[in-house]
Chain A
């Protein structure tokens, strides 16, 4: 089959699409970084994303409340924050086993979003996605403009959050407290830091961002909601945190790498790339992003890992 596209055109659109596809992962990963840097593993991201995805579209859709998508995005973050609060109660106050309780939160989010969908939408629910935001002067630039500056607002916000979160973690008192309770909660406690309060703040913030991630999927990328539409993306976001060695910059690289690999395998199918005479099976191509992620996890075993020493360990005063 012949496609009259130059390699440059293909790469430009591949990178532009990659930014949009990476956005949900980015929100979720940054949120999870805050939570984990303070020592709390939150595996409920997937469920929180689903709740965010539904709430956002319900606020935006004609079939729902018909309010602005921006309000939908806000509502998704509020609901995500509430899910985060629930996670914090379970993990920080009640000191539950974090790996298990997170799965519980995910199942809760899956069930709850499906139930709400059934009750409130019943059938396919659609909404107009955030429009592409052209930035005057920048969007018209060749190559750079096409890749970076013809995205929707949720994409710009997600990428802006990366340097902001790095700054918060490294340059603010709150960031110092987060890192302290993640590395050595006992010492932080001795210094007068309220360990549990810091952890509440990060887990709630993680929920807010996971809710935003869900909204980015439903009203940023697809314009629809379906039951279980995250399909494992929340868990990939958690994997990207490990992949990035708990650094927002490197998690961003991971999200971009994963999304780029995924988009390029779609291009490989469109361009009918073959080995010899036989086409490469689509399921093999579809596996590439996952294989890449695993390989990167194995070989790029970080020298610069920022893994918090107290990750998954609930804080008890007077104990180690």
Chain B
């Protein structure tokens, strides 16, 4: 997979211009986002919404940055309409927060050349198709997946770990592939069982998958997307452990969620704002990594051994230094 990685220096440089941008404009910068779940889903949508709010706070509140959002756009046709409405309404930046919205976005973007669009997880900015007003963003979820896997491998007592997967694609697949490699690195004896529910939102399917993983002997679970909340609730009842991704899930289950990989989109949002201020409406692809600070870790109240933390820290250092290369694809 080809990846354009965001350069830190460029980012720092452009951030400096951010203050100027706000004062130079008459009204607030208007950002709209269309998302497949809710701003409180403890995963995919919440991660970017918190990022937007953080940037808004830094910039000085609603007078500097206006945020509009539409939730629960699991229907792609409805999402396309919402995106067009926001563009028509004159929003400066319109974010399509889901790979599934890509086709609609590429049809829409040429009609509103003054509007900047952003979508993810994706790498295609439409440059090759002649589009100049699309930003793309993704997360190297395999990196945090690897670290979670290292910890999970050391934590499991039954040597069976269950993965409650949503759809075998995008950042979920990257995360799961990284996780499998992490477990293999820290505990080659452990078995990682993977299931996919083929839904991002069906919590009951997540619960049923988790029940079956536990029946198969799993004492540690992980998973991705908003459908995992039932699975976390179940493993809490069963006294096992959970590793999270996308948002900090330990806030809700502090004694069950050991660690969460958190997507911090603030740098991406800030750079998009800065690019626009300098007259660039699109064409940049971003990737959250451990090295550029886009991937962070949050820990809950689970008492874990120092050995676990050291192993996680070493894995993180290894990935950042390029000594550990986490594969994005695994042989079937």
Contact = CB atoms under 8 A, between A and B. Distances in A.
Interface of A: 1-5, 10, 13-14, 16-17, 20-21, 114, 122-124, 126, 128-129, 217, 221-224, 226-229, 231, 233, 262-263, 266-267, 269-270, 272, 278-279, 281-283, 286
Contacts of A5: 216-217
B184 to A, nearest CB: 11
Interface secondary structure of B, over-half rule: mixed
A221 B207 contact: yes
B212 A267 contact: yes
A17 B42 CA distance: 27
17 contacts: A1-B192, A1-B193, A3-B216, A5-B217, A10-B216, A20-B211, A123-B40, A222-B206, A222-B233, A226-B203, A228-B74, A262-B208, A263-B212, A269-B193, A283-B168, A283-B196, A286-B198
A276 B251 CA distance: 44
Contacts, number: 114
Contacts of B191: 1-3
Q: Among B199, B208, B209, which residue has the most Cβ atoms of chain A within 10 A?
A: B208
B320 interface: no
Contact of A231 (B193, B201, B233, B252): B201
Contacts of B193: 1, 3, 269-270, 272
Contacts of A128: 237
A234 to B, nearest CB: 12
Contacts of A262: 208
Interface string B234-274: 10010000000000000010000000000000000000000
A20 B230 CA distance: 15
B202 interface: yes
Interface string B152-180: 00000000101001001000000000000
B77 interface: no
Given A2-B191, A262-B208, A229 B203 contact: yes
Nearest to A21: B208
Given A123-B40, A228-B201, A231-B204, A270 B212 contact: yes
A229 B252 CA distance: 19
Interface in B37-93: 38, 40-42, 72, 74
Given A5-B217, A269-B196, A126 B208 contact: no
A228 to B, nearest CB: 7
Contacts of B192: 1
